[in-house]
Amino acid sequence: MSQYAVIGNPIAHSKSPLIHSLFAEQTAQDMSYSATQLEEDQLNAFVRVFFANGGGGLNVTLPYKEKAFDLASSCSPRAELAKAVNTLFLDNQNQICGDNTDGVGLVTDIKVNHGVQIQGRRVLIFGAGGAVRGALAALVDEHAAKITLVNRTLATAQQLQSEFEGLANIEAMPAKQAVESGCYDLLINGTSLSLSGELPAVDVALLAQDCFCYDMMYSDTETVFTSWAKKHGAKLSADGLGMLVEQAAESFAIWRGVRPDTAPVIERIRKSL
């Protein structure tokens, strides 16, 4: 039986073992998937021993996605852009390869599960941390009309803008300037503020008529961001549970060569929250 695992710290809250066991059952794959909490100085040795012992693949979560990027021998173009890895596997020369499926998870959730197109739309993202970094390459591939980055620390957003220079119309700016520059079709909350029940620098003036508001955080109840969106007349709002399941499905497809049906798994995980 092939072994898989998610590594991070903390890890007890992770839904990945449940998600991947549901995928494995659905697609009849003979595999196991566990969660391992690691200290930073254990990471390198754990990954190497895991693969040397025949491990099939690893997911990497906070706070090790950048370190996983450093330890991989080669990375996919989207992981190179993100400089962060959430999926590790061996290539046919037994070299450790890294990929980042967070962005495609977000885009699939928005487009397929919620039926919202990104191409040609005006996108505003709050935040410029790891989640936004991981998602940006996939959003760029969707050819949004423009991607505006608003972050508490403007310099971090400007750094992302410069790394993606020439690939898309991406501009980092203070919240006030974003409000003055017009409204947006898609507002994405990629900050960690929902965890503490706080809102990023939202303003009703940011909402275009058919605006879709997406919170990367997920919860068993409305997040403050999705509830703000509803209250102020956004056409649609969603939390990030679909993103979580879709990024897992992409990892699963990389490892097992089969893509699970995510809809029943999203429903099942929602009930487990």
**Which parts of this chain interact with ligand NDP (CB under 6 A)?**
62, 102, 105, 127-132, 151-153, 156, 190-195, 216-218, 240, 243-244, 247
Q: Which is nearer to ligand NDP, 51 or 135 (CB)?
A: 135
Shortest gap between Cβ of 93 and ligand NDP (angstroms)? Answer: 30
Closest residue to ligand NDP in the complex (CB):
129
Shortest gap between Cβ of 49 and ligand NDP (angstroms)? Answer: 26
Question: Which whole-number Å values give the CA distances from 30 to 4, 54, 94, 259, in the listed order?
Answer: 11, 14, 21, 15
The two structure tokens encoding residue 85: 């890895």
Question: Quick check: is 146 catalytic?
Answer: no
Q: Which is nearer to ligand NDP, 75 or 132 (CB)?
A: 132
Name, in order, each residue with C-beta under 8 angstroms of 132's C-beta and a sequence gap of 6 or more: 125, 149, 160, 190
Which sign does the torsion angle of CA 5, 90, 101, 20 carry? negative
Q: Is 88 exposed, middle or buried, given 0-12, 13-18 or 19+ CB atoms closer than 10 A?
A: buried
Q: Which is nearer to ligand NDP, 56 or 190 (CB)?
A: 190
Shortest gap between Cβ of 171 and ligand NDP (angstroms)? Answer: 16
The catalytically annotated residue of 15, 65, 111, 146 is: 65
β-pairing, 207-215 vs 236-238, is parallel
Q: Which is nearer to ligand NDP, 42 or 153 (CB)?
A: 153
Alpha-carbon distance of 160 to 174, in angstroms, equals 14
Q: Which residue from 58, 69, 52, 57 is spatially nearest to 133, judged by alpha carbons?
A: 69
Shortest gap between Cβ of 189 and ligand NDP (angstroms)? Answer: 8
Place of tokens 């709002």: 237
Active site residues: 65
